[in-house]
Structure 1
Amino acid sequence: MKTSTSRTVSAKVLHSIVSVLLVFAILFVFSACQSDAVDPNETVNIGGGSEEGRNTPAQTADLSRLVRISLTIDATRAYNNASLPQNIKDGLQNEGMLVKNAMLTLSEGKTVTETFSLLRTYDIVIVSESGAAGTFVTSIQGLENGACGAASGWLFRVNGEFPSEGIDSIELHNGDKVEWLFSCDGGADVGMSFAQ
């Protein structure tokens, strides 16, 4: 009888210990997965990264085949536009400066489109569509093309130039500066010339 009672007590103690450990494990996983925004001072690898840390290239990666770029996502013009609905404005952190000069490390040959998967891991949601003219962005963080009027929408530039090709055609090189800019005036308010 004593053996049965001690087994029951041992089973209850073991069950309690396992339950407590399970709760701590769940809390650890949830706290590790939370992220508010991209840290502009953080370097992140896309392709060729290791599991030891996102800032460390994989040991098998050819370091000469990695490129480092700067990425900015700027929706400040929309954020400050009176015609932007409040519910959309509320979804734009940092007064519309969603990402500022984040340094990213990618494998050579990657395109602008291939930066999207990284940004999704940092709670930056980008929606794009593909068509005959290539891939284009329709929304970032819930801010859709047309949100501030018919001539408003997302534009991108690389190294200060607005490319005529689609985002899936622009191959990134070491030192490139990629900027996503929300224009409320057909590009005029972000320096886009119609001659480009």
Structure 2
Amino acid sequence: MKKSNLKKNLAFIIPIAAILFFIVFKLCTMDISGATLKYDLNDNPDMVKVLTEAKNDSKALIINGNNDDLNYTWTYDKGKITDTKKTNLEIKPYTKYKKNIVKTLGTSNITVFTYNKDINLNGSPRLTFKEVNTKGNAYLFELKNGKVSYVKDTVSNDNDITFDVTKTDNIYILASGVNSKTLTSVKKKAVSLKAENKKEKEKIEKDTKDKKEESKKTAKKSSSKKVSKASNDKKKKVSKSKIKKSKGSPINLDEQKVDKKTTLSCTLTVECRDILDNKDKLKDGKEKNVPKNGYIYGPRKVTFYDGENVYDVLEREMRNSGIPFDADGYTEYSSAYVRGINNLYEFDCGKSSGWLYYVNGSRPSFGCSRYVLNDGDNIHWEFDVK
């Protein structure tokens, strides 16, 4: 009799226990807060709706994608979506000139890719490439006009590589195992992609033309509007402004000689006070990057080695102070170009806004990595809102 009751009880208890276990498991594994939205590009989600929901509800957004051997994830943190325009986040592998890239960088641990031409970043996303063949630190490079230029360092975790996306116009290379000599050379100046002959070199240059510059030229040609007299008068006023031109002479990077035995000093200031009077132009979400007094760094006396340039000092002090810093390693002007400091980027406060530098109160007419410093110089970086 007792055994019969026990069997009946077990028959009743076991299904209930299984159901309870399933409920507890689901509660433990589900995102109860709903703070993160997750989508897969292969499901063709309506990106306008996805971005709108994430922005309006202040949610983080994760979008997974894959194309051939490329597995990648886009991540938008809470509050990082600035608009909800239509976008295509597909990434495509680029296999052309892979052998040339390997020869140039001296490593076979590379991933070459391009962004979709209809991409719209809609803010400041991070991109993670998964299951990438890595060897040590990985770096992001850009291929344009037949030359490889350094973009930025990345964060490597096992076989995953992550970086903030700020440029999407051309061909990009993730590379690890690059020897220090090659890396130093590319960081200072863009290097030509190695080619078998002159004909191949010309073909590479043609196939890798800077898309951003090409689009500007096309837009300029298609525009038939004439500059009005008022516009010309405005240009004359600007040319006669009180901005001083630097008396310093530019130096080519390959001519730079640094004497690490001789230490000098200068004063460095980085500020964005101009934004305080133009907050109505500032992009949404950027207010938190603007200090109350407008000063991001300094004025502070810092040391440098004899022969170092303005860029050397800025890059080192920003890195040592933990201040976010983003620069193109090379431009058509044979100099580094500072795009962002403290997450304040060009165009963040109007179409003509961006970073300018002055030395001893004068504004040089050449790039910051071509200005070799003297002892006692005063460097002033200003976020200019024109």
Q: Would you call these one fold, judging by a TM-score over 0.5?
A: yes
Partner of 1:107 in structure 2? 305
1:95 correspondence with 2:288: no
Say which SS state the counterpart of residue 379 (structure 2) adopts.
Answer: strand
Say which SS state the counterpart of residue 87 (structure 1) adopts.
Answer: coil
Q: Which runs of 4+ in 1 moved over 3 A?
A: none
Alignment TM-score, normalising by the size of structure 1: 0.59
Partner of 2:363 in structure 1? 162
1:74 correspondence with 2:286: no
Partner of 1:128 in structure 2? 327
Alignment TM-score, normalising by the size of structure 2: 0.31
Per-residue deviation, 1:179 = 0.5
Count of residues in Structure 1 that have an aligned counterpart in Structure 2: 123
Say which SS state the counterpart of residue 155 (structure 1) adopts.
Answer: strand
Per-residue deviation, 1:183 = 0.8
Cα deviation, 1:13-49, whole Å, max 9, x if unaligned, reads xxxxxxxxxxxxxxxxxxxxxxxxxxxxxxxxxxxxx
2-side partners of 1:110 and 1:94: how far apart? 32
For structure 1, list consecutive stretches of 5 or more residues without a partner in the other structure.
1-60, 186-196
Say which SS state the counterpart of residue 318 (structure 2) adopts.
Answer: helix
Say which SS state the counterpart of residue 114 (structure 1) adopts.
Answer: helix
Instruction: Give me the identity figure in percent.
Output: 24
2-side partners of 1:127 and 1:94: how far apart? 22
Per-residue deviation, 1:121 = 1.7
Partner of 1:57 in structure 2? none
Write the letter of the residue equivalent to 2:366. Answer: E
8 Å Cα contact 1:111/1:170 also seen in 2: yes
1:83 correspondence with 2:284: no
Partner of 1:147 in structure 2? 348
Correspondences of 1:25-64 after superposition (within 5 Å): 62=261
Write the letter of the residue equivalent to 2:323. Answer: I
Cα deviation, 1:81-140, whole Å, max 9, x if unaligned, reads 222135212123343211121110111011111121222121222211121212111111
Say which SS state the counterpart of residue 147 (structure 1) adopts.
Answer: coil
Partner of 1:177 in structure 2? 378
Cα deviation, 1:66-95, whole Å, max 9, x if unaligned, reads 111000001011133222135212123343
Question: What is the RMSD computed on CA atoms of the aligned residues?
Answer: 1.5
Cα deviation, 1:116-169, whole Å, max 9, x if unaligned, reads 122212122221112121211111111111111111111001111111111110
1-side partners of 2:317 and 2:297: how far apart? 12
Larger radius of gyration: 2
Write the letter of the residue equivalent to 2:294. Answer: G
Write the letter of the residue equivalent to 1:117. Answer: R
8 Å Cα contact 1:79/1:89 also seen in 2: no
2-side partners of 1:94 and 1:125: how far apart? 18
Write the letter of the residue equivalent to 2:288. Answer: D
Which is bigger in relative contact order (C-alpha 8 A, separation at least 6)?
1
Further displaced range: 131-140 or 175-184: 131-140
